[in-house]
Amino acid sequence: SLALAHGAHRLGKRTDPMMERWRNYGLGQFIHWGVYAIPGGQWNGASYGGAAEWIRSWKGMPKEAYDNLYKEFDPENYDPSALAKQAKEMGAKYMIITTKHHDGFCLWPSEYTDYDVTNTPYGKDIIGPLVEAYDAEGIDVYLYFSVMDWNHPGYRSVLATEEDRSAYESFKEFTRNQLLELLERYPTTKGLWFDGTWDEAWKEQAEFADNLATEMRKKIPGLIIGSRFRPDDYGNRHFDSNGDLMGDYEQGWERKLPETYEDTNGNDWDCVMTIPENQWGYHSDWRGHVKTSYELIEMLVKSVSLDGNFVLNFGPDAKGDIRMEEKKLATEIGQWMSKNKSAIYNCGHIDWEKQDWGYYTQNRVTGEVNMVVFNKPINSVLRIKTSSKISLQKIYDLNDATKIYDPEEISQDEYIIQLGDEELAEPKVIVIKYDHSKGETKGYEKAKT
């Protein structure tokens, strides 16, 4: 393999307590909020078809007009504790907030730019009260930070000239200053979620990014940083030139999910997901498919079954209100989570054969396996094929103690259980208690073909 000065510094998963805590979250909340919520995807009577937080890049939005919107930012309904309570009700264990998106507007009072909340009619820090409110609800806070910054004069996507290079040095210093400032102001931050790191200019900054990550971890030991931050010595991102993950978890699953465990390369990972097809910031006119709570619960369960976290995005409007669709989904997901959280929190992958009826998650604390059933077969029979000899102890409905299932062993390490006739009104969790050690091998004969 290649000798890399700035490639992956660790092979395999982090095993420290802070990362174990991250690994056991299951469900997170993303919040995308900024001045892009003011136009909300609309301008001069026209609707921007792209993601609302990218409206500044739209030909229908004059840059000058966008860059003065901050003078209207005055979210009178912003209520951090209401947001935190709603996230708690949904069952989120962590929250990622956009401190600065690609437009460069800072939701905290930054010493290093005037393009921040202090120069808006609102005038106050947005981030601090949110961190406090979420900490008070026991929900860990992570900070989203876009390296790409359309507002900073030193930003370059490509370093073509000497002028570019000297300007970019000022931008790098600015970026370092802002990140250290954020960690200084919000020391309960558990990690950073970087974005906007695909440009050629940044891909040349292996040493700078590596040193900055080290410096940030000196400020907050154990800080969790995903794979979207650093480029390696050859400009490779996420995976270095030897194919090793750079960062504490893979940040490659944006609006998509892995299909199999192999797709995850055995790494920690998160999936960040929008409720409409592709809107992170507030868009007043959601077109196309808006995901239902069952769709989102299935994505959550699938993520946990493949050792990932599922992070659902919310986009407050210009006043700081959460839109009705998001409120409804937070409530519906919360109702399911309140009854089934033991199949999500502290759970992960088990290598039993995937079945059509749904997903397995294994509780890392109890060792119990959860069958999360989404698709009830027409014969109401659920098949279980384990990967090793086990001795089943008890199979029961998580939410109905009277419902015990009597497994029928039909071949080596293969069992079936019979569901009742009732239709599934919601995803059902069936718990399998078993003794990992005592499996005995019965003499099932293989066919000769």
| Min CB(338)–ligand K80 separation in Å | 28
Stretch that binds ligand K80, among 50-58, 121-129, 135-143, 352-360 (CB under 6 A): 50-58
Q: Which is nearer to ligand K80, 182 or 431 (CB)?
A: 182
Region of 46-54, 57-65, 376-384, 438-446 interacting with ligand K80 (CB under 6 A): 46-54
List phi, psi (to 5°) of 415: -135, 160
Strand partners, 194: 145
Q: Which residue is nearest to ligand K80 (CB)?
A: 280
Q: Which of 83, 216, 272, 350 is in the footprint of ligand K80 by CB under 6 A? A: 272
Using CB under 6 A as the binding rule, whether residue 250 contacts ligand K80 is answered as no
> Which residue lies nearer to ligand K80 by CB, 51 or 213?
51
- Residue 78: other Cβ atoms inside 10 A: 18
Please identify which residue in 254, 295, 397, 426 interacts with ligand K80, judged by CB under 6 A. 254
**Least separation, in Å, of the C-beta of 16 and ligand K80?**
26
Amino acid type, 410: I
The total of other beta-carbon atoms located within 10 Å of residue 288's CB is 8
Counting contacts by CB under 6 A, is residue 51 touching ligand K80? yes
CA angle 20, 362, 189 (to 5 degrees): 25
Closest approach of Cβ 193 to ligand K80, in Å? 8
30 in helix, strand or coil?
A: strand
Q: How far is the CB of 30 from ligand K80 (least distance, A)?
A: 7
Name which of residues 277 to 316 contact ligand K80 (CB under 6 A).
280
- 232, HSE (Cβ side, Cα atoms, 13 Å): 21
Q: Report DSSP letters for 94-152, one per residue.
A: EEEEEEE-TT--BSS--TT-SSBGGGSSS-S-SHHHHHHHHHHTT-EEEEEEES--TT-
Q: What is the largest CA-CA distance in the chain?
A: 79
| 53 binding ligand K80? (CB under 6 A) | yes
In the stretch 195-224, what mask flags binding to ligand K80 with x, by CB under 6 A?
x-----------------------------
- Please state, as a whole number, how many other Cβ atoms lie within 10 Å of the Cβ of residue 118: 14
Whole-number Å distance between alpha carbons of 120 and 103: 15
For residues 275-284, one letter each, b for 16 or more C-beta atoms within 10 angstroms of the residue's C-beta and e for the rest, the string is bbeebbbbbe
Candidates 48-56, 204-212, 282-290, 424-432; binding stretch for ligand K80 (CB under 6 A): 48-56
- Would you tell me which residues interact with ligand K80 (CB under 6 A)? 32, 51, 53-54, 195, 254, 272, 280
